A and B are shown apart, each in its own frame.
Chain A
Amino acid sequence: MKAFEYAEARTEAGVLELLSAEPGKTELLAGGTDLIGLMKKMIVTPDRVVNIMEIPSLKVIEPTAEGGLVIGAAVTLDDLLENDYVREYPALVQAIRGINSMQLQAQGTLGGEVCQRPRCWFFRNGHGLLAENGTLAAEGDSRYHAVFGNQGPAKFVSSSRTAPALIALGAHLRVLGPAAEDESFLPLSEFYRAPRQAGQREHVLEPRQWVTHIVLPPPGDQHNATYEVRDSEGPAFPLAAAAARLELAGGVVRQAQIVLGQVAPTPWVSQVAADVLRGLPVTPATAEAAGQAAISEATPLPGNQYKVQLAKVAVKRAVLLAAGLETGGF
C-alpha cells in the first residue's frame, strides 16, 4: 500500500473537514472489504483515508415518521439481517443473504456495499475503469462484462448486490457536502452512471460529497424479491441478478419495478419488463414474458452472449418470487 494519512471522524461534520476537494485524494473507509484490497494493489491510492465507522449516527436502523426505514451507511450487513424492520423488505434481505460470506456480512456495511467499485478485471489490474476506452473489454475477454448499456466506453458491470433491490424498493441516499450545510436526498436510481471519460467514477457524487444513510419508503405489501444467478455456491459474484417489486390488486399487477444487476455499468432499470406485467396476473408465462422483454434491449459483447439468457431467467425468477409463486433461491 502507498503510505497515507489515517483519519477518523466521530461526527458527520467531522468527515467533511477531512475530505479533499481533489478527486482521488481521500477515500472513505467503512468495512474495508473492498477498499483495502484495492489499495494493496495500488488501484486506489489516496493520500488520506477517512474512517467513518466510529460515527454513532451512521450506525442506526430507525423507522421514519412515514413508516419507512433509515439505515446508516456504517451498519454492517449481518446486523441488517438480524433486524426486524429490515425483514419487511424481502428483496433486500435476499440480496444480503446472497453475499454468502459470514466475514463479508460481518465486516461489510450497507454504505460500502452500495459504493463498492466494479469487479471488472481490467479495472482491478490497473487499466482503469474504462480500460483503454472500452477496447480491452470489447476486443478481449468480456465474459463477465456488460450486456446492457455497453455502447459507450464503460463495459464493466455495476457490482453492488443490494442496489437492484434498493432501487426497486425506491431507496434514496442521504448525501452530505460538498459544503458544510449541504444535505440532499438522491434517488439511488440516479446515483449510478456509466462514466464516459477517464477519471470519472461510476457514480455522480462530487469530491467532498458522501453518503450517510440509505432511506427506504414504507415496505408496503412486501411483494418484492431478489434473484441471483451464480455459477457456484461459493462467495463469487453473480453472473446476472434481478430485483422485482410488484403492486398487486385483484390478482393482477398494477405497478412493477424490475431492476437488473451485474449486467450493465449501472443497475439496469427495465421499464419494458415492468410494462409487460402491468394489468396481467403473475404466472410462469407472464414472468417469462417480462424476462423476454428485458433482454430485448440486450447488446452483448462477443464473449458474453450467455449472460443474456441468465438475465432473462433472473427477471423471471425474481418476478415469481416476488409474487410468492416460487420459493427457490434464498
Chain B
Amino acid sequence: MTESRKHSGPASGFSRRAFLKGSGAVAAVTALHGQQAVAEQNQEDTTLVRGATTISLNVNGKSHQVKVEPRTTLLEVLRHQLDLTGAKPVSMDGSSGASTVWVAGKTVMASTTLALTCRDKEIRTVESLGGANPDAVPLAFVKHDAEQCGFCTPGFVVAVRAFLDKNPQATEEQIRQGLNGNICRCGTYANIIQAAIDLVKGGGNG
C-alpha cells in the first residue's frame, strides 16, 4: 500500500486552456516560487486538487482536520492519522472486505476510496460499534467465538451490522449470500454466520 508522500511536481499533458482554467492563480504561484503546490481551486463546476491539502472529515460523529494528497485513501487517513485501526489493509484492491466502513450510509471499502471523495460525507467505522455500550454484533461475535487471527473481523462486524440493518429477518442462506464480500483466511465463516443467525433469532438486531 502506498504511503503518503510529497509528489514531485505538477502533472503535464493537459491543454493549456484546461490547465489555466483549472489551476489559475495557484499555478502561477508555483511557477514563481518553485514551491510544492498546495492547491484547491474551485471553479463553478469543477474542483482541482494538486499536492497535499488539509480537509475536514466527519468520522463517527466528530470532525477531524486531516492532511491528504489526492492519492491518499480513506483507509490510510483512518489508520495513520486518526488512529482508527479497526478497518484493515488486507488486500490492495478491496477484494477482502477487511476495510469495510460506512460512507454516507453505504458500505464501502476504505482501501479503494480516496479520502478526498469523502469530504462532506458522514463516515462511520467499526469503532462506532464499540465503546462502553457495544453494539449487539461484536457481542455476538464474542459469544460465538467468531474470530481467529482477527484481521477480517472488523470488516465482518461492519458487514454483519449493515446487512442485518437492511435485512433484519434474513435467513441463513441470505446471510451467507450477503456476507460474500468479506473473506476470512482462517475460515471462521461458520461461527460468523452463527453469530448473525443468533442476532436475527434473538432480536438483538437493534
Contacts and interface: CB of A to CB of B under 8 A. Distances in A.
Nearest to A11: B45
B69 interface: yes
A106 B162 CA distance: 11
B46 A47 contact: no
A77 to B, nearest CB: 11
Interface string B113-145: 110110000000000000000000000000000
Contacts, number: 156
Contact of A6 (B70, B108, B159, B163): B70
A20 B13 CA distance: 7
Contacts of A10: 45-47
Given A11-B45, A40-B92, A40-B93, A103 B100 contact: yes
Interface in A1-15: 1-11, 13-14
Q: How large is the interface on B (under 10, 10 to 19, 20 to 34, 35 or more residues)?
A: 35 or more
A7 B181 CA distance: 29
Given A7-B49, A53-B117, A20 B108 contact: no
Interface in B12-28: 12-15, 18, 21-22
Main secondary structure of the interface of A (DSSP, over half): mixed
B35 interface: no
A9 B42 CA distance: 10
A5 B117 contact: no
10 contacts: A3-B8, A5-B50, A17-B45, A31-B108, A36-B113, A38-B93, A40-B92, A41-B92, A47-B13, A103-B109
Interface of B: 1-2, 5, 7-8, 10-15, 18, 21-22, 43, 45-51, 69-71, 73, 92-95, 97, 100, 106-109, 111-114, 116-117, 159, 162-163, 176-183
Given A17-B45, A33-B109, A51-B116, 16 more contacts: A1-B2, A5-B50, A5-B70, A7-B22, A7-B47, A26-B14, A33-B94, A37-B94, A38-B93, A40-B2, A47-B13, A49-B70, A102-B178, A103-B94, A107-B107, A107-B109
Interface of A: 1-11, 13-14, 17-18, 20-22, 25-26, 29, 31-34, 36-41, 47-49, 51, 53, 76, 78, 100-104, 106-107, 233-235
